[in-house]
Amino acid sequence: MTSQRRPEKIVILTGAGISAESGMGTFRDEGGLWSQHRIEDVATPEGFARNPALVQEFYNQRRQAAAKAEPNPAHQALARLQREWPGEVVIVTQNVDALHEAGGSESVIHMHGELAGALCATCGHRWAAPESMAVGEPCPQCANPSARPDVVWFGEMPYHMEEIFAHLAEADLFAAIGTSGQVYPAAAFVQEAAAAGAHTIELNLDPSAVVSDFAETRPGPAGQTVPAWVSELLGS
Ligand code: APR
């Protein structure tokens, strides 16, 4: 009789840092998006109510930049891990780009929404966003002029939280990649996973605000550290 070890469940949280080497700017690094725009102007429901044209333009530009970006070796390595790991690999991203999917990953959980999506602020209907979304664009379901980007703004509840916490409770290994640990609830996932008995590892260029919550850290650019970590896990 052979005894088989239960394949470990891996839960991975990614942030803007994993897409940095694909040319997508981060938020809080020097020259990042939040040094060029005020969060309250472009990433809150109040900002959208005050100046919808400014907000639509901000997301139109980001949508167009994301459409041109290519996945980098970090996205590709995580897709390889999903394909080759004998257990489950869950990717939860705070990113609104589709670079994990472009790199070959499946079932990515977008907790902060997606640039590719449009949401009706009146009835909650969702549809594919046009490359450029106009102010007052009508909802194809209820016809109200209330199209907005399907991204989660400050003050709004991130998506899929119940599902994410269920995954964290079952995690054997939790990794956070390219995130500054400054935005909750994502910044608290490490504590949640550790409480469930998971080994925890941070792969980031600079130490995050919650680095001390991790059992292990690997500094460096994701394009290098992630493929190396994945090769190590897969033993090749
Ligand atoms: N490789 C790895 N990490 C990197 C790289 C890189 N090449 N470049 C930058 N980083 C790291 C930075 O050191 C920083 O810790 O990525 C992190 C980026 O942090 P933020 O800009 O704060 O991005 P993120 O953590 O994803 O932000 C969370 O805040 O406003 C929002 O909703 C937005 O989802 C976003 C959330």
Q: Domains along the chain?
A: 1-24+71-112+158-236 (3.40.50.1220), 25-68+115-151 (3.30.1600.10)
Report how far ligand 1's centroid is from the alpha carbon of 112 (Å). Answer: 13
Report how far ligand 1's centroid is from the alpha carbon of 167 (Å). Answer: 22
* Torsion sign, CA atoms 233, 25, 99, 210: positive
Ligand 1 atom having least distance to the Cα of 208: 15
Number of CB atoms found within 10 A of residue 141's CB: 13
Which residue lies with its CA nearest to atom 26 of ligand 1?
A: 15
Give how far Cα 11 sits from Cα of 8, 34, 43, 124, 191, Å: 10, 28, 27, 29, 13
Is-contact 96 110, C-beta < 8 A? yes
Report how far ligand 1's centroid is from the alpha carbon of 27 (Å). Answer: 6
pLDDT of residue 4: 52
With CA atoms as reference, report the closest residue to 21 among 234, 220, 202. 220
Residues 6+ apart with CB under 8 A from 214: 176, 190, 200, 201, 202
Ligand 1 atom having least distance to the Cα of 28: 21
Report the C-alpha gap between 7 and 174 in whole angstroms: 14
Structure confidence by residue, pLDDT tens digits, 49-64: 999 999 999 999 999 9
Q: Which two tokens stand for residue 120?
A: 């009706």
Is-contact 222 21, C-beta < 8 A? yes
Ligand 1 atom having least distance to the Cα of 152: 32
Report how far ligand 1's centroid is from the alpha carbon of 9 (Å). Answer: 24
Which residue lies with its CA nearest to atom 4 of ligand 1?
A: 17
160 is catalytic: no
Report how far ligand 1's centroid is from the alpha carbon of 116 (Å). Answer: 20
List pocket residues of ligand 1, CB cut-off 6 Å.
Answer: 15-17, 20-21, 26-29, 32, 94, 112, 178-180, 182-183, 204-206, 208, 221-222
Q: Which residue ranges in the chain fall short of pLDDT 70?
A: 1-7
Which residue lies with its CA nearest to atom 21 of ligand 1?
A: 27
Catalytic residue from among 75, 112, 125, 167 = 112
pLDDT of residue 206: 97
With CA atoms as reference, report the closest residue to 163 among 82, 109, 85, 113. 109
pTM of the model: 0.96
Number of CB atoms found within 10 A of residue 95's CB: 25
